[in-house]
Structure 1
Amino acid sequence: MIDLSNKKVLLVRNDNIGDLICTTPAIEALRKKYPSAQIDIVVNSYNEDAIKENPFINKTYIYTKPKHKKGLVEKIKAAFGKLKILVQIISEGYDAVVIFRGGYSKSAELFSTLSRAHYKIGVQNKNGKDGFTTHIIPNPNTHEVMFCFECLKPFGVIYAGEGTRYFIPAEMIQKYTPYQNAILFHISSRITENRYPKEKFKEIIDALKGKEVVISAEPVDFAQARWLAENTQAEFIKTSSLNDLGGLIANVKLFVTLDGGAMHLAPALGTKTIALSGKTNMNQWHPWGYAHLVLQDESKRAENISIATILKTIQENL
């Protein structure tokens, strides 16, 4: 076992916000194992909210991916911002680097390479060309939370019941306290196979007569959310950001969602979550703690999950 006591550790999780949420249990366990270690992390401007106010991190490096910027000038600014972070990492002198990515990432390995750390943990490049000292073999039937613990196994870190976490400012939670008895339907998913027809959502909401029902959506689906509000007893709440949505989720009694970042956000806030999934491998990506509330048709299309099955699951979990 590699001892990280009084060592400097750099973690890298520079992909999506749900992925970073799934990494938070491992970060907590790492801190518990090594309270004297300096634990820093590299994230990007797209997922940084998932690590804000995390009590187990010493320093957070945040950079913007040039591909997330429009225009040459903005892309150049983003590139220089990343370069500045790389220089800081070089000068810090880390002892160990852990890349929390289920597949090899050249951009993520760059942070590892330039750190000049003695211990470098990551998934092997399929071409066999990388600088990792220890390779992690991903298992598609292992949840992402537990994959992150596999990445920390060389340091003797083991899972001990840690949950996912996400910080929502108190004022955003207080904003939605009137909805503590509500069922919240989040109707958005960017993947076609993971989407669910608004007409079927209407039938489900109609069958929940007498229950307080609210709807949330991403901007691309605001029109569908308005249609549901106009044609059912449900209320559409137009949230302005992921944190704003989190404030609402943190209050409601039950969260029913399609596959996406919000599916990981809700368990991190302690809200019971029913996930309607399509083609996603839910062995790897189910909402942490709520694998038993995942509904998925054998066709791997969310639209084929029966209304009766969804209603039964909702009624059993109110």
Structure 2
Amino acid sequence: MKILVVRRDNIGDLVLTTPVFRALREKFPEARIDAFVNSYNAAVLEGHPDVDTVHSYTKGKHRSGFFPGWLERLRQMLRLRAERYDHVVIATPGVHPRQIRFARFLAPDHITANVPAGWKMFGVDQPVEYLGKDRHHLLMTYRIVQPFGITAEPSAPRLAFPSPPKAKGEPPTIAVHVSARKPSSRWPEERYVALMRAIHERSPTRFRLFWAPGAEDDARHPGDDGKARRILDATRGLPVEAIETRELPALIAGLAACDAIVCSDGGAMHLAAALGKPVVCFFGDSESQVWRPWGVEHRLLQPESLDVADVTVEQALAAYEELRPAIEKR
């Protein structure tokens, strides 16, 4: 049996899809299970034991040229069609006619996808009724395995990146990721500085500083290089290591070497959770019931205003202290 799972979204979405691959592998241990993802998130599945081959494509906005990009996309689609998959699984929650058309082009024996209640969609012979955003995104995604007769509860998301060994008595290393796409999820940089100082004063702790790379005034790919420099200047005297991660594998490997993370809602939060790291996370105007960390101890800070600027350093420190026993056991 040959199965292709399609998940072309952001980093966190793909992380939360890893239980689907685990469930399919447990149900069909001899099957070939492939993934079709985008070039931006493909590293999430690097070396994953439940995935045989990762096929990735580059989104249009990231291609170097229109015609060369589309020509290569056509060639890739023809190569995938030639694989003659038995099943194509559209793992993205929601109803996605474009992805279903893509699946039909591949001419598999079966197509599994979400469909609206009471609808039939051409080509989808293994439909899953889409119920809307009524639960965590992982659970919404995991419903796609129902037509395969899988009834087991989902496993926790996991990545194949190992955590490096740690010497006995070595102080904890805390990842501090200071970037967020939504303005309402951006905790002020001076509070990150104050939090790191407060944590270190209470117990010897090392920190690794992560951020979205790029200039703050870059219209196409704005980043937080300036913010990171200011935080590093303000934390002189503390054991803070700057981790510049211009590629996703570097971010994952950097997080794997930490014992916990303080961050806003986003891809880094889901990566750290999938690596088994305790999480202190800030949620602004986001659906915390849908996107909270899954499968690890965590403390979620979301003020009534839905703006993380209203979260105090004292609140963040109290959340960290609640997790400290779990962090120091690692």
What is the letter of the counterpart of residue 167 of structure 1?
A
C-alpha deviation, 1:129, in angstroms: 5.9
C-alpha distance in 2, partners of 1:130/1:312? 53
What is the letter of the counterpart of residue 81 of structure 2?
I
C-alpha deviation, 1:197, in angstroms: 0.8
Which of 135, 139, 164 is 2:132 aligned to? 139
C-alpha distance in 2, partners of 1:217/1:179? 25
Number of corresponding residues: 307
Structure with bigger helix share is 1
Which of 220, 226, 229 is 2:229 aligned to? 226
1:59 aligned partner? 53
CA-atom RMSD in angstroms: 2.8
C-alpha distance 169-250 of structure 1, shift in aligned 2 (>3 A): closer
Q: Is the Cα contact below 8 Å between 2:84 and 2:106 reproduced in 1?
A: yes
1:246 has 2:249 as partner = no
Which of 290, 298, 301 is 1:295 aligned to? 301
Q: Is the Cα contact below 8 Å between 1:121 and 1:136 reproduced in 2?
A: no
Give the stretch that moved more between structures: 255-264 or 116-125.
116-125
Q: Is the Cα contact below 8 Å between 1:44 and 1:65 reproduced in 2?
A: yes
What is the letter of the counterpart of residue 39 of structure 2?
S
Scaled by the length of structure 2, what TM-score is found? 0.83
C-alpha deviation, 1:198, in angstroms: 0.9
Q: Is the Cα contact below 8 Å between 1:256 and 1:275 reproduced in 2?
A: yes
C-alpha distance in 2, partners of 1:230/1:77? 44
What is the letter of the counterpart of residue 287 of structure 1?
P
Long gaps (5+) in structure 1:
1-6
What is the letter of the counterpart of residue 289 of structure 2?
N
C-alpha distance 305-234 of structure 1, shift in aligned 2 (>3 A): farther
1:4 aligned partner? none
- Identity of counterpart residues, as a percentage? 29
What is the letter of the counterpart of residue 77 of structure 1?
P
C-alpha distance 180-22 of structure 1, shift in aligned 2 (>3 A): farther
Q: Is the Cα contact below 8 Å between 1:246 and 1:265 reproduced in 2?
A: yes
Which of 80, 84, 105 is 1:93 aligned to? 84
C-alpha deviation, 1:125, in angstroms: 7.0
Scaled by the length of structure 1, what TM-score is found? 0.86
1:69 has 2:72 as partner = no
C-alpha distance 147-98 of structure 1, shift in aligned 2 (>3 A): same
Give the stretch that moved more between structures: 122-131 or 99-108.
122-131
1:198 aligned partner? 189
C-alpha deviation, 1:151, in angstroms: 0.4
1:123 has 2:117 as partner = no
C-alpha distance in 2, partners of 1:115/1:125? 23
C-alpha deviation, 1:128, in angstroms: 7.5
Which of 307, 315, 328 is 1:309 aligned to? 315
Q: How does 1:14-93 map to 2 (within 5 A)?
A: 14-70=8-64, 74-93=65-84
2:177 aligned partner? 186
C-alpha deviation, 1:57, in angstroms: 1.9
Q: Is the partner of 1:40 in helix, strand or coil?
A: strand
C-alpha distance 159-255 of structure 1, shift in aligned 2 (>3 A): farther
1:282 aligned partner? 288
Q: Is the Cα contact below 8 Å between 1:228 and 1:234 reproduced in 2?
A: no
C-alpha distance 16-225 of structure 1, shift in aligned 2 (>3 A): same
Which of 81, 96, 120 is 1:105 aligned to? 96
Q: Is the partner of 1:255 in helix, strand or coil?
A: strand
Q: Is the partner of 1:14 in helix, strand or coil?
A: coil
C-alpha deviation, 1:276, in angstroms: 0.9
1:235 has 2:230 as partner = no
C-alpha distance in 2, partners of 1:271/1:179? 17
Q: Is the Cα contact below 8 Å between 1:27 and 1:56 reproduced in 2?
A: yes
